Each structure stands twice: as structure tokens, then as C-alpha cells.
Amino acid sequence: MTQMFPVTLSGATARRQGQTLVGPVDLTLDGGGTCVVIGPNGSGKTTLLRLLHGAARLSTGRIDWACDTELAHRAQAFVFQSPVMLRRTVEENLAYPLRIKGEPKKAAHAKARDWAARVGLAGLLNRPAPVLSGGEQQKLALGRALISSPELLFLDEPCAALDGRSMRDIETILTEAKAQGTKLILSTHDMGQARRLADTVVFLLRGKVHEVADAKQFFDEPETAQAKAFLKGDIVE
């Protein structure tokens, strides 16, 4: 274990083409359970997740993990909103992250078959990934991220455009990963999903952390008028 938490953002800012996308953000996450990042479109959820994972560049400020940053990033995985699949079978997609780390073919494929079963794709091992449905692709992306046993998994809108059943399957996989000790930081538009999964909520507005709270506290008694309005489904800008 790398003991990467707590992670502290201090004056963290992402600027592109003269615009501030995120920040300045001052925030400490202690890694207790699942952190759900919510906020209107364009509020900076994806950018914040990418900054934490080192997939987007900080313009100013710092992000300090409890361990070496490189080590922290290596013990993490990221499931992007539109996962990129190899034009190969489900089994080969799952084995790929292990193969590039040098795991022998037989062992990598045995684990791939095991993970296919865990994410509900056991019957589709030989199907080319590009022809999978949206829900199946998302399960494959999750299996491919979890197969390397990350200590922290980032998920950007893991259930965008999925139906209820696929969403339930994905949430079950995430709940199991959490029970196995994987920390989760995810963004979602779905307040039902946020309520089901969150231990901590980070509410972003216009690139800034507007409210951060224990999930029960946030959903029962949000502090700010904007959070109340957002939870009611009103338009918040």
C-alpha cells in the first residue's frame, strides 16, 4: 500500500487559453470511502479529477499526496467518460494492462477471464470490444481498470447514457471494489447515484469548490442556497 491519503490541493488552478477552468481550489480529501464530485455542466468536475490523477496540468498551486506523487499516480486508475477500447476481444482488452506490465500471457489471460466474470462479461470473452453495447463497454472499462488492483479509482460519469439495469450493475461492481479496499473518486450528474455511493460530496460551481461535506449532511441539510437549488433540480449557474 502506498498510503497516498490525505491529498491536499492548495491554490490549485487549471487555466487554458486565458480562461480559468478550475480554481483556485483548497481542499483536503482523507480517502475515507467514496468521494462524489457534483456540479452543473462545465463546473470543472472532469478537470478536477484529471488534475488529481496528473492527467491535466496545474497552472498554479499544488497537489500534495501523502506519498511521492509519481507513486500515488501509479497506484491509481482512471475510467474516462468515453473509454477507448482496443480493437480486440473482451479477453484481450482485459489482459492488456497486465501484459504491458510484463505479466506472462497465461496468467494475464486467466485473470482476464476471472475479471470478465466479475464484471458480468463472461459470456462475451471472444467478442470484439468495439461492437459491445454502451453498458458492456463501461463494464469492460471498469474491469480493465480494476484488474491491476488500483488503490484509488477515478471515474468520470461512469453511467452517463446507461439504462437503469446497467447502472445498477456498475454500482454493484463499484460497491464490491470499495469493499475490497479500493477508494473511489467519481463525478456524476445523477443525484440518485450520488446519494447511493457517496461518503463525501464535493459540490463544484464555476470551477470552485462551493461546498464539501459528509454525504448525509450534504443531502439532508446543504449549507448554501446554490446547493439546495441544485439538489432540487433548479438551474444553477
**Binding residue for ligand ATP (CB under 6 A) from 11, 42, 104, 192?**
42
Q: Is residue 57 at the binding interface for ligand ATP, with CB under 6 A as the rule?
A: no
Least distance (Å) between residue 56 CB and ligand ATP: 8
Span 115-144, contacts to ligand ATP by CB under 6 A: none
Q: Is residue 186 at the binding interface for ligand ATP, with CB under 6 A as the rule?
A: no
**Binding residue for ligand ATP (CB under 6 A) from 3, 6, 11, 16?**
16
3-state secondary structure of 222: coil
Contact criterion met (CB below 8 Å) for 9 and 61: yes
- Classify residue 186 as exposed, middle or buried by CB count within 10 Å of its CB (0-12, 13-18, 19+): buried
First to last CA, the chain: 40
Q: Which helix (H) or strand (E) holds 135?
A: helix 134-146
Q: Is residue 158 at the binding interface for ligand ATP, with CB under 6 A as the rule?
A: no
**Binding residue for ligand ATP (CB under 6 A) from 5, 25, 46, 115?**
46
**Binding residue for ligand ATP (CB under 6 A) from 31, 36, 43, 162?**
43
3-state secondary structure of 122: helix
Q: Is residue 45 at the binding interface for ligand ATP, with CB under 6 A as the rule?
A: yes
Q: Is residue 188 at the binding interface for ligand ATP, with CB under 6 A as the rule?
A: no
Q: Is residue 21 at the binding interface for ligand ATP, with CB under 6 A as the rule?
A: yes
Least distance (Å) between residue 231 CB and ligand ATP: 16
Q: Which is nearer to ligand ATP, 21 or 94 (CB)?
A: 21
**Binding residue for ligand ATP (CB under 6 A) from 39, 83, 135, 222?**
39
Q: Is residue 17 at the binding interface for ligand ATP, with CB under 6 A as the rule?
A: yes
**Binding residue for ligand ATP (CB under 6 A) from 9, 12, 34, 47?**
47
> Angle, to 10 degrees, between the axis of helix 134-146 and the axis of helix 164-179?
10
- Classify residue 234 as exposed, middle or buried by CB count within 10 Å of its CB (0-12, 13-18, 19+): exposed
DSSP 8-state secondary structure symbol assigned to residue 163: -
Count of residues touching ligand ATP (by CB under 6 A): 11
The CA distance from 77 to 43, in Å, is 23
* Stretch near ligand ATP under the rule CB under 6 A, chosen from 36-44, 103-111, 124-132, 135-143: 36-44
- CA distances to 80, 151, 174, 177 from 180, rounded to whole Å, are 22, 10, 10, 5
- CA distances to 10, 40, 161, 164, 191 from 208, rounded to whole Å, are 12, 12, 26, 31, 19
Least distance (Å) between residue 156 CB and ligand ATP: 7
φ/ψ (deg, to 5) at 227 = -65, -40
Query: What residues line the site for ligand ATP (CB under 6 A)?
Result: 16-17, 21, 39, 41-47
